[in-house]
Structures are given as C-alpha cells and as structure tokens.
C-alpha cells in the first residue's frame, strides 16, 4: 500500500510459502499485477534476521507473542526517529504517539482494525 499510494520503496518479509496460503507467492504476484515491482518486493526470509537500521518506517502485523520477539531487535537495530506502525497489536512498554481505527475495506470481512504509531 505504501508503494502504491505514496511511491515508497517497500520491502516485506514472508517466510511461509506453503499451503494453504502461499503468502510469499501471492504477495509477489499482487505486486507484479499492480505494476509495483520497481518499488516493492517481498523477501523470503525470516523477519528475525532482517536489518532494521535502514528503514524510516517499519510496519508490522504480528501477533503479540511475535511482537514480543521482534521488539528487542527493533530497539537494538532501528535508527533514532524511525516510525513503527503496528497493526491490531501494541508493543509492550512503548507509548503510541497516535492510535487510529480503520474500518474494513471493500473485502467485506466487516471488522475494524487498530493501527498504533510509535516514534522511536
């Protein structure tokens, strides 16, 4: 979405490419379908091995237990001023600068989502 709406260079991490979701393959196909291959890519790699020193903004959509695992790596690796957006689940001990609720999109699942913006 960041690449499509704002022209942002975007890198995602997805380790799973197994049934039933094929998340990596589906994501790469969607990027190609939208013509965003020059701006966006998905790395088929464990997020726990990612380099967090370069991004200006990091977006995560992880369960609380995964947020707990990635939090120390973010704290250690991020540059000062990096923004973090967490989808639906907060980071423990971090104070959100802003919290917004987004109503469901046109996919019809009928639920809202909460986004937490942190500035480190």
**Bridge partners, 116 (sequence order):** 86, 99
| Percent of the chain residues past pLDDT 70, beyond the cut | 94
Q: Mean pLDDT score of the chain, rounded to an integer?
A: 89
Q: Where are the domains of the chain?
A: 1-45, 47-120
pLDDT band at 108 (very low <50, low <70, confident <90, very high): low
pLDDT band at 2 (very low <50, low <70, confident <90, very high): confident
- Virtual CA dihedral for 117, 47, 110, 96, nearest 10 degrees? -10
DSSP state of 114: E
Q: Residues 92, 68: contact at Cβ < 8 Å?
A: yes
How far CA 110 is from CA of 84, 85, 88, 107, in Å, comes to: 26, 22, 15, 8
**Average of per-residue pLDDT across 15-34:** 85
CATH topology of domain 47-120: Rossmann fold (3.40.50)
pLDDT tens, 26-67?
Answer: 889 999 999 999 999 998 888 899 999 988 889 899 999 999
Categorize the per-residue pLDDT at 107 as very low, low, confident or very high, splitting at 50, 70 and 90: low
pLDDT of 104 reads 75
In this prediction the pTM is 0.81
Q: For residues 36 and 53, what is the distance between their CA atoms, to the nearest angstrom?
A: 24
């Amino acid at each position: 979405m960041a690449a499509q709406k704002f022209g942002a260079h975007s890198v995602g991490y997805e380790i799973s490419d197994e049934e039933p979701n094929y998340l990596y393959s589906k994501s790469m196909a969607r990027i190609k379908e939208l013509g965003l291959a020059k701006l966006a890519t998905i790395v088929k790699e464990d997020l726990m091995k990612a380099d967090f020193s370069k991004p200006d903004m990091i977006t995560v959509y992880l369960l609380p237990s995964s947020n707990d695992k990635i939090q120390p790596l973010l704290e250690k690796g991020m540059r000062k001023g990096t923004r973090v957006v967490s989808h639906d689940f907060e980071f423990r001990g971090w104070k959100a600068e802003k919290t917004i609720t987004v109503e469901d999109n046109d996919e019809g699942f009928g639920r809202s989502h909460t986004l937490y913006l942190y500035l480190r």
